[in-house]
Amino acid sequence: MNQQDHAVRLARRIRDEKQRLLATLDDPRRTQELVLADVLTRNGDTAFGAEHGLSAVAGVDDYRRAVPIRTHEALMPWIERSIAGERRVLTADQPVAYFSSSGTTGREKFIPVTPTYLRTTFLAFYYAGFAGVLDRHPELIGAEEKVLNLWQDPTTRISQTFGGQPHIGLSQLDYRTYGEPLATGPGTGGGWTEVLDSYPDGGPWERAYLRLRLAVERDVRWIIAVNPAIVAALPYQLAQWWPRMVAELHAGTLGGRPYGEPNPARALELRQVAERHGTLRPVDLWPNLRVILSWNTALASLYLPPLREAFGADTIVLSPPIASCEGPVAIPLRADPASGPLFLPGCFYEFVPADRDIEPDCDTLLADELEEGRDYHIVLTHVGGLYRCATLDIVRVVGFAGRTPAVAYAGRGTISSGSGERLREPDLIRALGAALAEVGLEIRNATARRTGSSPARYEVALAPVATPPSDVVAALAEALERRLAEQSPGYRRARASGGLGAVRLTVTHPDAFLVEWERRVRAGERPPRVKDRVFQPDPNVWDRITTNAPTIVGSQR
């Protein structure tokens, strides 16, 4: 298949899956009932189905009574049986791989991936996820040489389960293996992957360099990052690597080996730009860049906007499909680049208000029962073998598409508490965003922790775009204290009772979080896995980020 035929067929498949989703939006209840019925029909005759009486389930209420809500960890006994080779444990067809993720708890996940799940759910979701790009820039679909894919790398070394099946991240899935050549990730053809295959010994840090070195000579118009930390790291990497890139460009080498023809004219042009600005920015390399595909809500909403100058004023950040490794959630389709309607044809969704704990028998809401402006935990069921699985992510309903809620990712479902405050990740993000806007400060990243000192308090470490004067930092600490009390009733009560002291603000070096990101990638973690942490669980990471950083305490009232 030549590139033009590939582009035409890919665009058609994207439109088809988008239309399939749009056709469901006016009747979410009926669509969801059909999805649940299909799951039960396909997988009723399994070990899990027998244990829970799925063959006798007649509808949503029966299903709720038959199956308790569980996390992935609680489903692991069945998943481990499947990994060990037992057939028909969770699904009628045997998993061909298991998706991995470090997860909210930091423990590896093993999400079953079956052929039926890939065909009916995952790939439909995958194709529909490019609808926003197709609508805005149809010329980029199939234009492999114009796409810099920093997320997907199916040729990297993969792990295995104890049963020998692939244990991979979503970014490592090679769709060609499952008969889906159209789904080969944009920017993984056109010579990109073939060249990187000849450098098998390079770790994630070196592979990232090689990919950018290749991109220096291309007219990149679309960057796929998905993980916003990858977007934030790109200007930082270019600041380190531009002298090496320019030297290799001049010599006609890649990673020290001969590659292509020497390009001294381009090398001289880039050196002059770098000397003028002190670095090379993405906009200097790719002035025609138009789209970055990256999650752009939650914490990323605070640090991506200041990067606009580095990437170009005409570049828009579009959200990729909203999902977790457990399954699809929503597809941004229309004007809002950060939210989209639930992917009704893919999963059966239930929701728990985010201010409540998820319990095995807690009441749930269905898609057509959600309210705009509210946050919810996600509980999903799909044909791949997850039944009422709590993903531990939170979404916020920002509107409706037809009668279907349009949602945006709001943060992890992590709750921090010790004095009854029950501070949620989305509350902290919104409070910090409001406080930053109030004092006019821009940041590169932030994280927080609860300290056990007397009195206990929250510490927030943030990396500013530029180091602010002390009076601005003091004003920010005061504003953050007020905004936390507004966002979180529990925090407000704990402060009033004396159970919590005032928030403490630590201003780090502007590059502190990027240096930590680099440390982890150099140590062997693939960039898609190195994610932001709103609540930082690792005291060693905290110490590295905040070393020699000044602190300011908020209001003592």
Per-residue model confidence (pLDDT) at position 191: 67
Q: What's the start-to-end Cα distance of the chain, in Å?
A: 69
**CB distance 294 to 320 below 8 Å:** yes
Give me the pLDDT at residue 154, please.
Answer: 62
Check residue 557 and give its pLDDT: 42
pLDDT tens column, 326-382: 999 999 987 678 899 999 999 999 999 999 999 999 999 999 999 999 999 999 999
Using alpha carbons, select from 326, 387, 385 the residue that is nearest to residue 90: 385
pLDDT in tens, 514-543: 999 999 999 999 899 899 999 999 999 999
Each residue's pLDDT tens digit, 34-88? 999 999 999 999 999 999 999 999 999 999 999 999 999 999 999 999 999 999 9
The reply to whether omega before 306 is within 30° of 0 (cis) is no
Q: Is the pLDDT reported for residue 180 higher than 80?
A: no
pLDDT over 70 for what percent of the chain? 95
What is the reported pLDDT for 185? Answer: 73
198 vs 274, higher pLDDT: 274
For residues 72 and 112, give the distance between their C-alpha atoms in angstroms, rounded to a whole number: 11
- 249-259 pLDDT per residue, tens: 999 999 999 99
- Model confidence band, residue 3 (pLDDT cutoffs 50, 70, 90): confident
The pLDDT tens digits for 404-428 are: 999 999 999 999 999 999 999 999 9
Q: State the pTM of this model.
A: 0.94
| Structural contact between residues 32 and 366, judged by C-beta atoms closer than 8 angstroms | yes
pLDDT at 224: 95
Residue corresponding to tokens 């920093």: 150
Mean pLDDT in residue range 471-499 = 96
Mean pLDDT of the chain, nearest integer: 92
Q: Give me the phi and psi of 120, to 5 degrees please.
A: -95, -20
275-304: pLDDT as tens digits = 999 999 999 999 999 999 999 999 999 999
pLDDT of residue 411: 95
pLDDT (tens digit per residue) in 310-333 = 999 999 999 999 999 899 999 998
Angular region, 99: left φ>0, alpha ψ -120 to 50, beta rest? beta
